[in-house]
Amino acid sequence: MCGRFKRKSDKQKVARVFEVQSGLEEADFAPGDDLRPQSMQPIIYTNEAGERQVEMMRWGFKLPDRLLFNARSEGITQANFWKDAFLSGRAIAPGDAVFEWKKMPQGQKKPKYEITIPGQEPFGMATVWKLWKNPKTEQWERTFAILTGDPNKLVATIHDRMTTFVEPPDFEEYLAPSERPPLHLLRILPAEKMHVRLVDSSPISKAQVSLFDSH
């Protein structure tokens, strides 16, 4: 899953990496080290004019019984809540790191890990957005969820779900309007492209990496 992420890249770098053509002046955002669901975040999508636009959207749909801030990549075209969004509301959320907490036996502290993609700063997280009526304000908002999928062998040692990333060569296809949803782009990012470290200690040692490689 993805319940926290970090964006250290500033507005200008985000605009450059994702080739933003519209909305940059109106989108008010800065780097953040602990970005959480229900916060407003910059989301990049293709607008009706065919331009790549950035817009501030709320992360997560607050339903009466739960908060939906992730969407499963598997079966998204059949999921009642998400299928229309994946057809017409595909977007990308820029980030520089995602955080995951390793499950531990009851009573033990859960270690926090930072996951990055060296060479992709910022990287692109696959998202979907749709209109949502805020029950507090009665106003319609553009709201997004981050897609997740099965983990690779590295992340599997920490969590049973992983953020779905869109790699730079695939940005154009993922964001472009299409009659057939680009399910083939919802791939599991290979472990060798990622780096994981404990947030409160030094990067993972070679011994620890060998343990990951054995899974």
Work out the mean pLDDT of the chain and round it to a whole number.
Answer: 90
Is the per-residue pLDDT at 207 higher than 60?
no
Which pLDDT score, from 0 to 100, does residue 200 have? 66
Domains of the chain by range and CATH? 5-213 (3.90.1680.10)
Give the bridge partners for 162, in sequence order. 149
Q: How far apart are CA 123 and CA 97, in angstroms?
A: 8
Q: What is the average pLDDT across 151-178?
A: 95
Which ranges constitute the DSSP H helices of 38-131?
83-88
Task: Spell out the residues 6+ positions from residue 66 whose beta carbon is closer than 8 angstroms to its own.
Answer: none
Lowest mean pLDDT among 83-87, 101-105, 112-116: 101-105
User: Which of residues 179 and 201 earns the better pLDDT score?
Assistant: 179
Q: What is the average pLDDT across 184-210?
A: 73
Q: What is the average pLDDT across 120-138?
A: 91
> Cβ(184)–Cβ(164) under 8 Å?
no
Query: What percent of the chain lies above the pLDDT cut of 70?
Result: 92
Q: What is the pTM of this model?
A: 0.89
